[in-house]
């Protein structure tokens, strides 16, 4: 089953326009030369001209994520096998082995390119809803952790991406605390101060459980909804930790 029948079952829309379209278009042109005329453009159903693009779906999210994966991987000036393995596993888990092979070829061409991060993120922000952008930040931290250590330069890049995407600093710090632990991580995850009283803690948990509920990204497909459950679980675990520490009922 080819890419057009599987990975992009939700359809590619707005990513084929703007700076992201230029990035993947360049990569596909390069692949077309290597394959003697058969590139990924036909697989993606890439339009010859502009038009009205649908809102974010699985294909849009994935290709946008590949572009941002490249920026995070290059942040510390080295491309690690563990990171490439993470990307390949991510694609295989969500889209199958055959599709992941084609997407890895695309990705390896993407990471060779230089592009403007603010303009790419501006395109994503203009078409992707807030829950999907939060999920994107979560997955980027997962990539950063692939080698067992989250490099400060990678955190800086993800922080910039988060800002360009319109994700608040509190939401960014909440997701970061799910990966970078310290003594106040549980409170940071719930976006509340450690001096908050028990009622405030309970209200914060309900608010965060609603904000990060997996159903908020159901439009990206079942696979991404399952990934979102990791954030939801981290919020629940943070709340339970605080309850235990405080002896809350």
The total domain count for the chain is: 1
The residue range of the domain holding 85 is 1-125
Higher pLDDT, 93 or 18: 18
CA distance 142 to 41: 29
Q: Is 43:27 a contact under the CB 8 Å cutoff? A: no
Instruction: Let me know if residue 182 belongs to a domain.
Output: no
The first and second tokens of residue 81, run together, are 């096998």
One DSSP character per residue, 143-160 reads HHGGGSS--HHHHHHHHH
CA–centroid distance for 165 within its chain: 11
Please report how many Cα atoms fall inside a 13 Å half-sphere around the Cα of residue 10, on the Cβ side: 22
Cα dihedral 209→130→172→213 (10° resolution): 20
DSSP 73: H
User: For the chain, percent helix, then strand, then coil, each to nearest 5?
Assistant: 70, 0, 30
46 C-beta neighbours (distance < 10 Å), count: 15
CA distance 173 to 189: 7
Mean pLDDT of the chain: 84
Higher pLDDT, 119 or 59: 119
Instruction: Let me know if residue 36 belongs to a domain.
Output: yes
Instruction: Let me know if residue 165 belongs to a domain.
Output: no
Instruction: Let me know if residue 228 belongs to a domain.
Output: no
CA distance 169 to 191: 10
Segment 103-162, tens digit of pLDDT: 888 888 899 888 999 999 999 999 999 999 999 999 999 999 988 889 999 999 999 999
Segment 160-218, tens digit of pLDDT: 999 999 999 999 999 999 999 888 999 999 999 999 999 999 999 999 999 999 999 98
Instruction: Let me know if residue 40 belongs to a domain.
Output: yes
pTM for this prediction: 0.84
Instruction: Let me know if residue 131 belongs to a domain.
Output: no
Q: Residue 7: phi, psi to the nearest 5?
A: -60, -35
Higher pLDDT, 221 or 53: 221
Instruction: Let me know if residue 249 belongs to a domain.
Output: no
Instruction: Let me know if residue 67 belongs to a domain.
Output: yes
Question: Taking residues 60-85, what's their average pLDDT?
Answer: 88
55 falls in which pLDDT band (50, 70, 90)?
low
Tell me what pLDDT residue 203 has: 96
3-state SS assignment for residue 39: coil
């Amino acid at each position: 089953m080819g890419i057009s029948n599987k990975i992009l079952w939700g359809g590619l829309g707005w990513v084929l326009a703007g700076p992201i379209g230029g990035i993947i278009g360049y990569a596909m042109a390069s692949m077309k030369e290597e394959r003697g005329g058969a590139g990924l453009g036909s697989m993606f159903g890439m339009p010859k001209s502009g038009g009205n693009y649908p809102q974010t779906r699985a294909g849009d999210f994935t290709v946008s994520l590949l572009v941002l994966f490249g920026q995070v991987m290059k942040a510390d000036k080295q491309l690690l096998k563990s990171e490439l393995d993470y990307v390949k596993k991510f694609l295989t888990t969500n889209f199958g082995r055959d599709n992941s092979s084609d997407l890895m070829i695309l990705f390896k061409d993407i990471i060779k390119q230089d592009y403007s991060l603010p303009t790419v993120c501006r395109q994503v922000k203009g078409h992707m809803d807030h829950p999907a952008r939060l999920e994107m930040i979560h997955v980027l931290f997962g990539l950063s952790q692939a080698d067992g250590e989250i490099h400060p330069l990678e955190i800086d890049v993800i922080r910039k991406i988060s800002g360009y995407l319109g994700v608040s600093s509190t939401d960014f710090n909440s997701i970061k605390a799910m990966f970078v632990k310290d003594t106040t991580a549980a409170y940071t995850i719930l976006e509340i101060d450690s001096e908050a009283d028990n009622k405030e803690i309970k209200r914060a948990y309900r608010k965060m459980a609603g904000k990060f509920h997996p159903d908020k990204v159901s439009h990206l497909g079942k696979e991404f909804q399952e990934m979102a459950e990791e954030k939801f679980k981290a919020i629940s675990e943070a709340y339970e930790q605080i309850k235990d520490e405080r002896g809350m009922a």
